Amino acid sequence: MATGSIVVTETPLIRYVLRRADDALILGHRLSEWCGHAPTMEEDMALANMGLDLIGQARGLYSYAAEVEAAGRSEDDYAYLRDERGYGNVLLVEQPNGDFARTMVRQFFYSAFIDPYWGALTASTDATLSAVAAKAEKESAYHLRHSAEWVIRLGDGTAESHRRARTAVDDLWAFTGELFETDDGERALIADGVAVDPISLRPAWLETVSAILAQATLPLPEGGWMQKGGRGGHHSEHLGHLLSELQYMQRAFPGATW
């Protein structure tokens, strides 16, 4: 049962579900890279725990995509057998871990967005999306609290931790605009009450981010230019390397199970 890359027959709903799943999977994978390398034992466990939550959320969404596509695929096929261009995650989540400050700032930017997003999606007219969101929301609340506490601790810490946190905020800022991006297909789902309009969450996101950065004594970046591309499959060079590790087993031994 040799299996090469798959090409998904994307309806707007499948594309929408895969984008949410890809965000969670790629960020979850990034966090898993810290396993055994975090600065303290407690953080090692925290990052692995958050990664596990995110991968769990991705699994629920990929399973739903498989159900909707009805092409005899499993959750694993979407994760292991799509090429880089088939992934629709935002560029933010594929950015390398860098130092601990960069990982925490990336997590904070994402969690401050996704926590209210899941909250709003619990009201989706789609029963499965609503169910996934209701579980994910409880988990993202913990992720938001944890990452926000670290952003404050690092920003308002030593000169060195402040410098690193500030560099991370400045470097990652240009990737935050994509969180609020939609396309025609997604806007139709929003109109039907299936999806959530991310633009409606931008004020809440900005409020959370401004408040935490202020507490962290970190200036809110002013640059308005935003880097996009991830939602349409145009990724940074980092995603291909990430996937080569994530997909290695299934690519080298197609159909392997354990």
Kindly list the residues in this chain that would bind other proteins in the complex (CB under 8 A): 28, 42, 45-46, 48-50, 52-57, 59-60, 127-128, 130-132, 134-136, 138-139, 141-142, 145-146
Cβ at position 110, least distance to other proteins in Å:
16
CA 45 to chain centre: 19
How would you classify residue 72: left for phi > 0, otherwise alpha for psi between -120 and 50, otherwise beta? left
C-beta closer to other proteins: residue 84 or 137: 137
Q: How far is the CB of 228 from other proteins (least distance, A)?
A: 28
Measure the CA–CA gap between 230 and 19, rounded to whole angstroms: 9
For other proteins, the closer CB: 69 or 139: 139
Q: In terms of CB distance, is 225 or 258 closer to other proteins?
A: 258
Nearer to other proteins, 19 or 146 (CB): 146
Please, what is the minimum distance in Å from the beta carbon of residue 200 to other proteins?
A: 20
The amino acid occupying position 80 is Y
Q: Output the smallest distance, CB 225 to other proteins, in A.
A: 35
Q: Closer to other proteins at the Cβ: 193 or 229?
A: 193
Minimal distance, residue 160 CB to other proteins, in Å: 23
- Give min distance, CB of 167 to other proteins, in A: 25
DSSP string, the chain: -----------HHHHHHHHHHHHHHHHHHHHHTTTTTSSSHHHHHHHHHHHHHHHHHHHHHHHHHHHHH-SS--HHHHHHS--GGG----HHHHS---SHHHHHHHHHHHHHHHHHHHHHHTT-SSHHHHHHHHHHHHHHHHHHHHHHHHHHHHHTS-HHHHHHHHHHHHHHGGGSGGGG---HHHHHHHHTTSS--GGGGHHHHHHHHHHHHHHTT-PPP--------GGGT---HHHHHHHHHHTHHHHHSTT---
Q: Is the Cβ of residue 91 or residue 212 nearer to other proteins in the bound state?
A: 212
176 vs 208, beta carbon nearer other proteins: 208
Q: State the nearest-atom distance from the C-beta of 54 to other proteins, in Å.
A: 7
